[in-house]
Structure 1
Amino acid sequence: MNGASALAGAVRRGELSAGETVARALHRIDAANGTINAFTAVVAERARARAAALDRGLAAGEDPGPLAGVPFAVKNLFDVAGLTTTAGSLINRDLPPAAVDAVLVRRLEAAGAVLVGSLHMGEYAYDFTGENAHDGPCRNPHDPGRMTGGSSSGAGAAVGGGLVPVALGSDTNGSIRVPASLCGVFGLKPTYGRLPRTGTYPFCDSLDHVGPLAATATDLALAYDALQGFDRGDPACARRAPEPVLATLTAGLDGVRVARAGGFFAAEDYPQARAAVDRVCAALGADREESLPGAAAGRAAAYLVTNAEGAALHCRHLRERVNDFDPDTRDRFLAGALLPAGWYLQAQAARRAWREEMATLFRRTDLLVAPCTPCPAPPIGTRHLELAGRRELLRPNLGLFTQPFSCIGLPALSVPLWLPGEALPIGVQLVAAPWREDLCLRAAQVLAEAGVAEARPGVV
């Protein structure tokens, strides 16, 4: 894949114009989007105008920024001036177009990147499959008959298919990491509160994160550095100074204590996930295992909190326009609206206990290795997985291993692996203590340099 860092370097050196990078991206989108359905809107006129302005600035000797001329796209819950923020829904199509871009869109463009469009997603971000009743399924760029994962489905497909080298997604229970795993790209869910959500459509306030997906670990770090910084428009955004990681990306992991996540994350019934974790642990020198006894309760808490907070947000529309929801989304929100308050309080107590358990663990361990999804991308339309002689619902279990870490806001990065004999990628999570995204990114770079983690161009 043509990575963001390589493109930006060529533009900065004058070997390639921003206009050329954007024209190539628009051509790829036009050629492939009919197959994979990654984009819901393309802003070609805006992109060309932005590229032309960058090229004029370059000719005048201006610094175009570290992402000079890099095309990017955003999940359609990010506000884009002039577009309606649909959040994958039918109901939101009645809203007026956004007046201004989301903060993170503005930050990437300030760093020289060029927005080319908005991306497919699961309705209201409540999805792990990439199948949307209103917009149709988003299709895996490595096999269009397969799922992308969700809810940042278009982001995974667009980067995995080489349409753009960088995309923005959101992650409440795994919605960056699941499509990163199934589409074979790098995806970072930062610490809760690290990046501002200002100008994005909410889902579950106490669990919502935003972050980048990219074709390489270097590109992920490059985008992450450009995105950092406090913004008062998001009450959850931490008042922390940016902590750039790109310059430290090649520092290696000497002295970093790496462990395998066991217990709930053992993946004994998921052979591909377990094999992928084995490879990563061997490459990173993870020679011990942490049992993580609170993980199952943490995942259960995430379910209840998501149901309750999501249903509360959509309560009016559940009363007035219930039939305009995707049926799967509707049913989950209706269930959440009926949850007793006591259950929500118990879930928050379980969440606190799980957070304390992990805080204790990170006094003796710096980095955890865990499976990301239980399997590579299933065929579109799959409803169940056959595992170890039993039948399990697919939709919730795609987030089996991502939800516990979202529940307590830990930084987690999915790295893509291609196992021998497998035609599809699968991801492995790198998880660190709060605010230690640098460790996740350094480990991802180690794996990339060793040839263990790799994003390959899609077939579309």
Structure 2
Amino acid sequence: MSIDVFAPAHKIAAQVRDGEVTAETVAEIFLARIARVNSVVNAFTDVTAQRALEQARGIDTARAAGKMLGPLAGVPFAAKNLFDIAGLPTKAGSKINRERAPAARDAVLIERLTAAGAVLLGGLNMGEYAYDFTGENAHDGPCRNPHDSARMAGGSSSGSGSATAAGLAPLSLGSDTNGSIRVPSSLCGIFGLKPTYGRLPRTRSFPFCDSLDHLGPFARDVTDLAMAYDLMQGGDAHDPACTQRPAEPVLPSLSQGTDGLRIAVAGGYFSTDGMPEAQAAVAAVAQGLGATRTLDLEGAGIARAAAFLITNSESAAFHLERLRQRADDFDPETRDRFLAGAMLPAAWYVQAQRARRWFHDEMMRVFEGVDLIIAPATPCPAPFVGQKTLELRGETVPLRPNLGLFTQPISCIGLPVAAVPVFGTGLPIGVQIIAAPWREDLCLRAAFALQQAGVCEARAPVLG
């Protein structure tokens, strides 16, 4: 029996548990699709075929023995190549890291999904050292958008967005420091979740900017997104940012709807004037959720400036020895940003952290009167691969940093966000649904309601 590669992950798992299809057959189908389609999108950098087939056979053996299977039994997934994958060097999109010894153990989040029965297919393309919004990797080549291979997938979790949108893996893992889950979700037309900072452990993943780094899932279906998130929850002592806060499952609450929730649209800094696709997407989501109130989130621009300074400073300090010894082995654009960060005065970093705290406190006051905030995810749909500039509010601006225009202020203070896709007449574009810390349940309830209403959905691209 065959399966639909665009079927939700939870339905594939049900087919495996019910014996309608074997986990090995599922793995073979997805591995065959990767072999056929990856040459178009360039999402995978490493395919762990032998591991996937061995794990799938183990699931089939367990089922034949009458053992209970996990909630993601036989579901394929893949991970951005900054996650440790046992037996592979953790590349983090770089040339230098390829010389690292193979990882001895999987990242914690990969272990947790594997324990639930999910089958790892491999590592995914990404922007070098996660310092990127485009997905154009100088060493592995650009990751491409499944809806138009001439266009970007977005970064830095480019392979995660592309692979899941292209039907190469129903679930994928990525990281988000300034927008690297939400930008690929937006450009590739899928769902993504950036949890609260400190919610999911980053143990055995390669860092970018410790005080801003988040990890999270991508999916084509909100139930899948919530299920994967729930299965990965729980503290880990090896990540000092990850609290010992008890797991708070969101899957049981998905269908509660949004009645009674106070929902507003972000205005001011988040205005989409002159951005027709983003404006239409935000309007569609606002209408779908019954949001009529607009909020001017004062200080968002200051928060974005703080995020730039914190990212520059922390990441440059982390990479300083590599810069000294192997500067020529960096992508020149990444290297130059690190070098700029290495020269920032310490006082600027301190002031940026003060601004970050101020904006956090301002937003906590906002959330006293609202439960969810709707904001654009990107200012435009996917640009072309190689494009360098963007027309934004009547000005020509550099494209690379400005794809994160609307995401940076939110991740700067660690708020949970669900990115939801909207398809207009052409390419998809995403919308952020933002909640107060630890309220991922509200983000996902709204995303589920929008999916049920047909406002937001992941559509199968026309390829392979």
- Distance, in Å, in 1 between the alignment partners of 2:167 and 2:47 is 16
Question: Shift of the alpha carbon at 1:387?
Answer: 3.4
Partner of 2:455: 452
| Aligned pair partner of 1:401 in 369, 385, 406 | 406
Partner of 2:101: 96
Question: Shift of the alpha carbon at 1:386?
Answer: 2.2
Partner of 1:167: 172
| Aligned pair partner of 1:186 in 174, 186, 191 | 191
Does residue 1:432 correspond to 2:426, yes or no? no
Question: Shift of the alpha carbon at 1:443?
Answer: 0.3
Counterpart residue type for residue 404 of structure 1 = P
Counterpart residue type for residue 121 of structure 2 = V
Does residue 1:18 correspond to 2:31, yes or no? no
Cα deviation digits, residues 292-337 of structure 1 (max 9, x gap): 0110000000000000000000000111111110111001000000
> Sequence identity of aligned pairs in percent?
62
Does residue 1:261 correspond to 2:266, yes or no? yes
- Distance, in Å, in 2 between the alignment partners of 1:191 and 1:348 is 18
| Aligned pair partner of 1:364 in 330, 350, 369 | 369
Does residue 1:145 correspond to 2:150, yes or no? yes
Unaligned runs of 5+ residues in structure 1 are: none
Does residue 1:343 correspond to 2:348, yes or no? yes
Counterpart residue type for residue 125 of structure 1 = A
Counterpart residue type for residue 87 of structure 2 = G
Unaligned runs of 5+ residues in structure 2 are: 1-5
Partner of 1:82: 87
Does residue 1:67 correspond to 2:65, yes or no? no
Partner of 2:3: none
Question: Shift of the alpha carbon at 1:388?
Answer: 4.3
Question: Shift of the alpha carbon at 1:389?
Answer: 3.5
- Distance, in Å, in 2 between the alignment partners of 1:352 and 1:243 is 26
| Aligned pair partner of 1:121 in 108, 119, 126 | 126
Question: Shift of the alpha carbon at 1:269?
Answer: 2.4
- Distance, in Å, in 2 between the alignment partners of 1:457 and 1:98 is 34
Question: Shift of the alpha carbon at 1:5?
Answer: 0.8
Does residue 1:280 correspond to 2:285, yes or no? yes
Where 2:204 maps in the other structure, the secondary structure is coil
Tell me the TM-score normalized by structure 2: 0.98
| Aligned pair partner of 1:306 in 300, 307, 311 | 311
Q: How do 1:382-401 and structure 2 match up within 5 A?
A: 382-401=387-406
Cα deviation digits, residues 90-142 of structure 1 (max 9, x gap): 01111100000000000001011000100000000000000011111001011
Q: How do 1:192-231 and structure 2 match up within 5 A?
A: 192-231=197-236
Tell me the TM-score normalized by structure 1: 0.99
Partner of 2:323: 318
Counterpart residue type for residue 262 of structure 2 = R
Counterpart residue type for residue 231 of structure 1 = D
Counterpart residue type for residue 436 of structure 1 = R
Where 2:155 maps in the other structure, the secondary structure is coil
CA contact (8 A) 2:274 2:394 kept: no
Report how many aligned residue pairs link the two structures: 458
